[in-house]
Structure 1
Amino acid sequence: MPTLIFDCDGVLADTEQFGHLPAFNKTFEEFGVPVQWTVEEYAQKVLIGGGKERMRSILTDELSQQLGLTSEEAKDEAILAWHKRKTAIYTELVNDGVMPARPGIFRVVQEAHLAGWGLAVASTSAEPAVRAVLTHAVGVGLAASFTIFAGDVVPAKKPAPDIYLLVLDDLGLEPGEAIVVEDSANGLRAAVAAGLRTVVTVSGFTRDEDFTGASLVVSSLGDPGDDDEPAEVLQNPHGIDVGAAVTLATFQQLLDLPSTPTRSEES
């Protein structure tokens, strides 16, 4: 059956600036780590796939010595402790409603569920955080319809295609049966390398990235209505009719295109 695969951060909700960044900074403060990322600095950190990997990037030789992390084992243990606390702080922010769902997410998920499509999330974020964002974005009932692939389920994070290859293999899908919604160039590269058509909904940190290879690039999925946010089409290489919102019919049109990319072609 056709399947929609969503990234989490920046796709289900605009989580990076208002969720992950303050959670990282509060964690550093609690653990006595003399690092506080600015929005500009974090815009560079989001290019690193995975929260633990972003934390590891601060561990210069000088800071490691200052914190008493004199072995790789000590660094690994510290990062695990930091990341566990960061995930808890982030989850609290999600539950407090700090990050509302992005436009069109509930609408498209509900439409796909009613039409019998499969639903999945593929994210490098920790699974508890992903489940919290998903539940807040679409509700408990629809969230239960998703298969979630998150955290360290694969060793190589995006832009490596591993997590999307795992989704295809685990769900028994061919690339032409699924379509991905991503928000970043790293996520796009991962999906395309797995042979998957990809719709990009840009977020605050990613709008100026290179989305070559995307099937469609929009400002958001859009919510039609006078007081809601319409979808602004930024790139439309196949000339798909989008209108004010990306709908399930939009995704079906993309899946029906004759030249579906294959893994070998994009590798």
Structure 2
Amino acid sequence: MTRALLFDCDGVLADTERDGHLPAFNETFEHLGLPVRWSADDYARVLRIGGGKERLASLLTPEFVERAGLPDDEEAQRAAIAEWHAEKTRRYTAKVRAGEMPGRPGIARIADEAHDAGWLLAVASTSAEESVRAVLEHVVGPEAASRFAVFAGDVVPRKKPAPDIYELALRELRVSADDAVVVEDSANGLRAAVAADLATVVTTSSFTVDEDFAGAALVVDSLGDLPDAPSRVLADPRGVGPLDLVDLGTLVALTH
């Protein structure tokens, strides 16, 4: 039997939304002279939309288009969104490479445990592949990152909460949903994983802590690293706790 451990990127590998994506979006808006700046509350609402380009496209109300002096035709607007997103990705990736976003507790540890036990590893994210690979290398190191398959960006037509990216990952990895576990941090990501029939561990992050995680196999504040950052269980519907660390044994129990 081959098992697989699949991670979302943003909010799971690192708290990238708060420390990376939001400031990179706002720096991009300022750099391009766009009449918008997202507050933390604004961004929490925008995060309900899957994908960076899709979040940018949500700005394009008639009023915004007029205020920003943007073209009216859809093709030109799509080109503008692609330009904005590329600029934002450059700025975000620079923040990752500068070490501004530390990895979340337990990620490197459990990736090593899974690899040593013969599990396949993957990241499945709606973020741009360049951004995902930068975060992955920063969090687990280049050697460990090379063990991961990466499914990211526009590789599927529908983004989370649609299950497409997880279904693609399972096909490409040739693993049954019964033999895989997902680590997510958002309700959208959880819905995508559950729709693909995947057992899902939720590790809450800055922008998702108050979301509805009904359907998760386990909800924790982090995977945990001892002794300094133990995991705190927030919901345990399958009764795998009590625990202060989510380890490979925990994940195996969730797939039964």
- Give TM-score, length-normalised by structure 2: 0.98
Aligned residue in 1 for 2:179: 177
Q: Deviations over 1:101-145 (max 9, x none)?
A: 000011101111111110000000000000000000000010000
Aligned residue in 2 for 1:238: 238
Whether contact under 8 Å (1:24, 1:86) holds in the other structure is yes
Query: 1-side partners of 2:64 and 2:243: how far apart?
Result: 51
Aligned residue in 1 for 2:210: 208
Please tell me the residue identity of whatever aligns with 1:241.
G
Aligned residue in 1 for 2:100: 98
Whether contact under 8 Å (1:203, 1:219) holds in the other structure is yes
Moved over 4 A (4+): none
Query: 1-side partners of 2:124 and 2:37: how far apart?
Result: 28
Whether contact under 8 Å (2:11, 2:185) holds in the other structure is yes
Query: 2-side partners of 1:24 and 1:187: how far apart?
Result: 21
Please tell me the residue identity of whatever aligns with 2:59.
I
1:173 Cα offset (Å): 1.4
Query: 1-side partners of 2:200 and 2:243: how far apart?
Result: 18
User: Using a 3 Å threshold, how does the CA distance of structure 1 residues 250 and 24 change in structure 2: closer, same or farther?
Assistant: same
1:242 Cα offset (Å): 4.7
Q: Deviations over 1:77-103 (max 9, x none)?
A: 000000001000000000111100000
Further displaced range: 88-97 or 242-251: 242-251
Whether contact under 8 Å (2:6, 2:124) holds in the other structure is yes
Aligned residue in 2 for 1:37: 38
Aligned residue for 1:110, secondary structure, equals helix
Aligned residue in 2 for 1:50: 51
Aligned residue for 2:181, secondary structure, equals strand
Whether contact under 8 Å (1:242, 1:250) holds in the other structure is no
Query: 1-side partners of 2:224 and 2:172: how far apart?
Result: 30
Query: 2-side partners of 1:103 and 1:137: how far apart?
Result: 10
Alignment pair present for 1:220 and 2:222: yes
Aligned residue in 2 for 1:82: 84
Whether contact under 8 Å (2:70, 2:77) holds in the other structure is no
Please tell me the residue identity of whatever aligns with 2:14.
A
Q: Deviations over 1:136-175 (max 9, x none)?
A: 0000010000000000001111000010111111111111
Percent pairwise identity: 59
Whether contact under 8 Å (2:221, 2:233) holds in the other structure is yes
Whether contact under 8 Å (1:230, 1:245) holds in the other structure is yes
Further displaced range: 241-250 or 215-224: 241-250
Aligned residue for 2:141, secondary structure, equals helix
Over the aligned positions, Cα root-mean-square deviation in angstroms equals 0.8
Query: 2-side partners of 1:5 and 1:252: how far apart?
Result: 13
Aligned residue in 2 for 1:68: 70
Alignment pair present for 1:9 and 2:10: yes
1:68 Cα offset (Å): 2.5
- Give TM-score, length-normalised by structure 1: 0.94
Query: 2-side partners of 1:68 and 1:98: how far apart?
Result: 33
Alignment pair present for 1:119 and 2:121: yes
Aligned residue in 2 for 1:250: 250
Query: 2-side partners of 1:87 and 1:35: how far apart?
Result: 18
Query: 2-side partners of 1:198 and 1:71: how far apart?
Result: 41
**Where does the alignment leave 5 or more consecutive residues of structure 2 unmatched?**
none
Please tell me the residue identity of whatever aligns with 2:86.
K
Query: 2-side partners of 1:18 and 1:68: how far apart?
Result: 29
Q: Deviations over 1:185-212 (max 9, x none)?
A: 0000000000100000000111111111
Further displaced range: 164-173 or 2-11: 164-173
